[in-house]
């Protein structure tokens, strides 16, 4: 069965409904294993690959940029026709922690965006980036487990106009083809869309990459309406809630020591603040979703991915895999149809445990 695809833009190749996220490559996954995984995914029809300048995670000076480098190494070795693959990456937003990335980065101003694009092009070894995304906003927004907006947290941020001007120059010079947002809010998306018309970039703004999974359906509360009416596609990251929805952390058996939450315990604050393994609501929800998967004869991981793929606004689910068997389990989700009775049971669980990992 061929990999299903989605048309993001007329002059891009149809993208696979599964997008291989390279976030673990260069840290949790070594070079040789990463290259094998990329080969196997491409052989199965995956032609959409997502990275970021700050990857891999947990981020540290010694490994900065390694995920892009590994993806670039694979592109050179495998040599797929460039117009058959879609390469996406991201510029890091302001952070006081990653001092090795342009001093923080301190902001998402024109200088930082331009420098980040040039550095990513070098690491990837490509002439252009198909989809270039702002990893998170240069303004205060609740993120990574936060859900309530606090006006007192707002700080002086770089105007969106300056960011669009820098991105527009990169489009004009052929360094990037399309623009995406990530970890955005309804306000942020609509403001970018409004301003993009002034820079003649409206047709270039294609996607928003936000978390979406059985434990986090907050996209549906506000962003979904914006995306529907403005024809912006969702790239759903963390479709398995950092592996929690596989059931491996709550199976009652000893969890493998090489899982991300065990390997990097205490070192990955963004993940741990959102995906609270010891939360009673998380445990209860995962248990019930796992039971639904078992009842209908599919794996919990396949159920989780298949649920995301059925969303009408999802162009592609951005998944990760560190082992071949995990990749094959994810691929299986494109061959699964979830009947209405499964959706009814899923929605019942969601009604009782809504968004425990926002």
Backbone angles phi, psi at 289, to 5 degrees: -65, -40
pLDDT at res. 275: 81
User: What are the Cα distances from residue 265, in Å, to 65, 243, 260, 270, 276?
Assistant: 22, 14, 8, 11, 12
Tokens 């009782």 locate to 352
pTM of the model: 0.96
Q: Which residues are catalytic?
A: 55
Per-residue pLDDT tens digits of the chain, which is 358 residues long: 799 999 999 999 999 999 999 999 999 999 999 999 999 999 999 999 999 999 999 999 999 999 999 999 999 999 999 999 999 999 999 988 899 999 989 999 999 999 999 999 999 999 999 999 999 999 999 988 888 999 999 988 999 999 999 999 999 999 999 999 999 999 999 999 999 999 999 999 999 999 999 999 999 999 999 999 999 999 999 999 999 999 888 765 656 666 666 666 666 666 677 788 889 999 999 999 999 999 999 999 999 999 999 999 999 999 999 999 999 999 999 999 999 999 999 999 999 999 999 9
Beta pairing partners, 90: 133
Angle between helices 31-43 and 324-332 (to 10 degrees): 30
DSSP-based three-state secondary structure for 303: helix
pLDDT at res. 269: 66
Taking the C-alpha atoms of residue 183 and residue 109, their distance in angstroms, rounded to an integer, is 18
Q: Which element (helix H / strand E) includes 327?
A: helix 324-332
Nearest to 193 by CA among 185, 184, 202: 202
pLDDT at res. 145: 82
Task: Supply the DSSP string of 188-243, one letter for each residue.
Answer: HHHHHHHHHTTTT-GGGEEEEEEE-BTTB-GGGGTHHHHHHHHT-EEEEE-TTTTT
**And the tokens for 357?**
């990992």
Task: Tell me the CATH class for 11-243+302-336.
Answer: alpha beta
Taking the C-alpha atoms of residue 313 and residue 8, their distance in angstroms, rounded to an integer, is 11
Taking the C-alpha atoms of residue 201 and residue 68, their distance in angstroms, rounded to an integer, is 26
DSSP-derived secondary structure letter, 180 = E
Spatial neighbors of 225 by CB under 8 A, at least 6 apart, are: 186
pLDDT at res. 274: 77
DSSP-based three-state secondary structure for 162: helix
pLDDT at res. 248: 83
Spatial neighbors of 339 by CB under 8 A, at least 6 apart, are: none
Greatest C-alpha distance within the chain = 56
pLDDT at res. 255: 65
| Strands 15-16, 18-21: pairing kind | unpaired
User: How many CB atoms within 10 Å of residue 127?
Assistant: 9
User: CB–CB of 6/207 below 8 Å?
Assistant: no
Domain ranges (residues) in the chain: 11-243+302-336
pLDDT at res. 146: 86
User: How many CB atoms within 10 Å of residue 21?
Assistant: 25
pLDDT at res. 1: 79
User: What are the Cα distances from residue 212, in Å, to 46, 110, 149, 355?
Assistant: 20, 30, 20, 10
């Amino acid at each position: 069965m061929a990999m299903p695809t989605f048309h993001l833009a007329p002059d891009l190749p149809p993208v696979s409904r599964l997008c291989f996220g390279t976030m673990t490559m260069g840290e949790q996954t070594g070079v040789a294993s990463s290259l094998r995984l990329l080969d196997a995914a491409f052989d199965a029809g995956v032609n959409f690959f997502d990275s970021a300048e700050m990857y891999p995670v947990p981020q540290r000076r010694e490994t900065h940029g390694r995920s892009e480098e590994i993806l670039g190494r694979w592109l050179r070795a495998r040599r797929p026709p460039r117009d058959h693959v879609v390469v996406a990456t991201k510029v890091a937003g302001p952070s006081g922690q990653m001092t090795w990335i342009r001093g923080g980065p301190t902001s998402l101003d024109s200088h930082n965006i331009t420098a980040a694009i040039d550095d990513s092009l070098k690491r990837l070894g490509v002439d252009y980036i198909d989809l270039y995304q702002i990893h998170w906003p240069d303004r205060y927004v609740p993120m990574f487990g936060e859900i309530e907006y606090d006006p007192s947290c707002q700080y002086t941020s770089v105007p969106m106009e300056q960011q669009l001007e820098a991105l527009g120059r990169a489009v004009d010079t052929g360094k990037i083809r399309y623009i995406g947002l990530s970890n955005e809010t309804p306000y942020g998306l609509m403001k970018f869309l409004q301003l993009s018309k002034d820079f003649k970039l409206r047709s270039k703004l294609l996607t928003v990459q936000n978390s979406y999974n059985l434990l986090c359906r907050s996209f549906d509360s506000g962003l979904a309406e914006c995306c529907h009416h403005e024809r912006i596609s969702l790239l759903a990251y963390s479709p398995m809630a950092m592996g929690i929805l596989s059931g491996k952390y709550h199976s009652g058996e000893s969890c493998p020591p090489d899982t991300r939450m065990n390997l990097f315990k205490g070192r990955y604050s963004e993940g741990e603040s959102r995906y609270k393994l010891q939360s009673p609501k998380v445990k209860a929800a995962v248990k019930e979703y796992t039971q639904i998967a078992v009842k209908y004869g599919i794996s919990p991981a396949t159920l989780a991915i298949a649920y995301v793929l059925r969303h009408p606004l999802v162009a592609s689910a951005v998944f990760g895999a560190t082992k071949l068997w995990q990749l094959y389990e994810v691929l299986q989700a494109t061959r699964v149809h979830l009947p209405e009775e499964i959706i009814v049971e899923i929605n019942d669980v969601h009604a009782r445990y809504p968004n425990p990992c926002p």
